[in-house]
């Protein structure tokens, strides 16, 4: 059995601080083999710098997935194109954008996993390519003996996420939703061995609006004007993740356990 920890969208310095405080202990406690984080909000809530990814790597994060905010920093775009980048961006952007939407990574003792990142179109970015067909293409072109196939589906609508679960049912080890920053209570493993949760949640400031200071977001809704997102480090943090246990011989999931900690 392999144990994969998937950490939800980690937001800004407060999120990074919570990860550095909690992750080393969690990895020991659950005997984690491989840790994946959605890092699209690592650097002040939008995008991820190399420095912040390195910081998370030092705390025990092995690999990053991303989402709609991955395009923010030029240095990250260059990094995406490096062969040994520990980062994927959503696969279903038009051909020609930097980086890869999937990667094959060795986790231990020659065991390899396939990590796929997709982005939803409903209420998010309707013009990108079809995530369902993008998943088909990746699975068709990357047939292999994987210990696990993990999909991060970065999407807003639960309907689109649940549909992808059914579409990929039995063909991947896990479909894990990200982007809403709110952990859902619908985690389960299907009869065909696919672990699922509509959203893993976030690591970030508790007294906030999905990780961002609430005042600026309230103003945004009230006045419909552009506002600057602030993240003041204060108070407690949420740490949301899921632990997925997978039979490495069949790549079928056996368990998915949500983790919801408060870092006081």
Strand partners, 116: 102, 151
Among 12, 45, 60, 67, binds Fe ion (CB under 5 A): 67
Using alpha carbons, select from 241, 256, 180 the residue that is nearest to residue 7.
Answer: 241
Q: Quick one: 134 or 210, whose CB is closer to Fe ion?
A: 210
The region of 17-25, 38-46, 76-84, 98-106 touching Fe ion under the rule CB under 5 A is: 38-46
Under rule CB under 5 A, residue 180 binds Fe ion = no
Q: How far apart are the first and last CA of the chain?
A: 32
Q: Angle at which helices 131-141 and 158-168 pack, to 10 degrees?
A: 30
Under rule CB under 5 A, residue 41 binds Fe ion = yes
Provide the minimum distance between the beta carbon of 192 and Fe ion in the complex, in angstroms, as a whole number: 28
Spatial distance between the Cα atoms of 41 and 231, rounded to a whole number of angstroms:
11
Q: Quick one: 203 or 253, whose CB is closer to Fe ion?
A: 203
Provide the minimum distance between the beta carbon of 186 and Fe ion in the complex, in angstroms, as a whole number: 19
Burial class (CB in 10 A: 0-12, 13-18, 19+), 1: exposed
Phi then psi for residue 74, to 5 deg, are -60, -40
Contacts of 1 (CB under 8 A, 6+ apart): 245, 246, 247, 248, 254
Strand partners, 196: 175, 188
Binding to Fe ion (CB under 5 A): which residues in 134-153? none
Q: Quick one: 86 or 179, whose CB is closer to Fe ion?
A: 179
Under rule CB under 5 A, residue 89 binds Fe ion = no
Provide the minimum distance between the beta carbon of 258 and Fe ion in the complex, in angstroms, as a whole number: 18
Spatial distance between the Cα atoms of 69 and 85, rounded to a whole number of angstroms:
17
Among 27, 46, 179, 252, binds Fe ion (CB under 5 A): 179
Spatial distance between the Cα atoms of 120 and 154, rounded to a whole number of angstroms:
6
Under rule CB under 5 A, residue 68 binds Fe ion = yes
Spatial distance between the Cα atoms of 183 and 156, rounded to a whole number of angstroms:
13
Q: Quick one: 146 or 153, whose CB is closer to Fe ion?
A: 153
Provide the minimum distance between the beta carbon of 181 and Fe ion in the complex, in angstroms, as a whole number: 6
Count of residues that bind Fe ion according to CB under 5 A: 5
Among 4, 9, 101, 239, binds Fe ion (CB under 5 A): 9
Q: 44, 57, 69, 229: which one is catalytic?
A: 69
Spatial distance between the Cα atoms of 258 and 166, rounded to a whole number of angstroms:
20
Residue pair 203/18 in contact by the 8 Å Cβ criterion? yes
Q: Quick one: 68 or 198, whose CB is closer to Fe ion?
A: 68
Q: Quick one: 67 or 101, whose CB is closer to Fe ion?
A: 67
181 is catalytic: no
Binding to Fe ion (CB under 5 A): which residues in 92-131? none
Provide the minimum distance between the beta carbon of 183 and Fe ion in the complex, in angstroms, as a whole number: 13
Positions touching Fe ion (CB under 5 A) are 9, 41, 67-68, 179
Residues taking part in catalysis: 69
């Amino acid at each position: 059995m392999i144990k994969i920890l998937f950490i939800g969208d980690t937001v800004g310095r407060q999120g990074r601080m919570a990860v550095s405080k909690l992750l080393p202990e969690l990895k020991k406690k659950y005997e984690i083999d491989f840790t994946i984080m959605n890092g699209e909000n690592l650097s002040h809530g939008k995008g991820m710098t190399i420095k912040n990814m390195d910081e998370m790597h030092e705390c025990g994060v092995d690999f990053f997935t991303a989402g709609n905010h991955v395009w923010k920093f030029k240095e990250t775009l260059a990094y995406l194109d490096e062969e040994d980048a520990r980062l994927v961006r959503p696969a279903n952007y038009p051909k020609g954008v930097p980086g890869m939407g999937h990667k094959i990574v060795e986790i231990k003792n020659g065991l390899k996993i396939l990590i796929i990142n997709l982005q939803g179109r409903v209420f998010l970015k309707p013009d990108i390519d079809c995530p369902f067909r993008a998943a088909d293409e990746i699975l068709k072109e990357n047939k292999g003996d994987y210990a696990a196939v993990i999909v991060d589906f970065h999407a807003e609508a639960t309907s689109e996420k649940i549909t992808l679960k059914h579409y990929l049912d039995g063909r991947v080890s896990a479909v894990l939703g990200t982007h809403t920053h709110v952990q859902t209570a619908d985690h389960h493993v299907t009869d065909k061995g696919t672990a699922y949760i509509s959203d893993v949640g976030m690591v970030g400031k508790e007294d906030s609006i999905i990780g961002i200071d609430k005042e600026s977001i309230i103003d945004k809704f009230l006045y419909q004007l552009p506002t600057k997102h602030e993240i003041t480090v204060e108070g407690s943090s949420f740490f949301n993740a899921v632990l997925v246990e997978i039979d490495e011989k069949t790549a079928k999931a056996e368990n998915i356990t949500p983790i919801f900690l408060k870092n006081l």
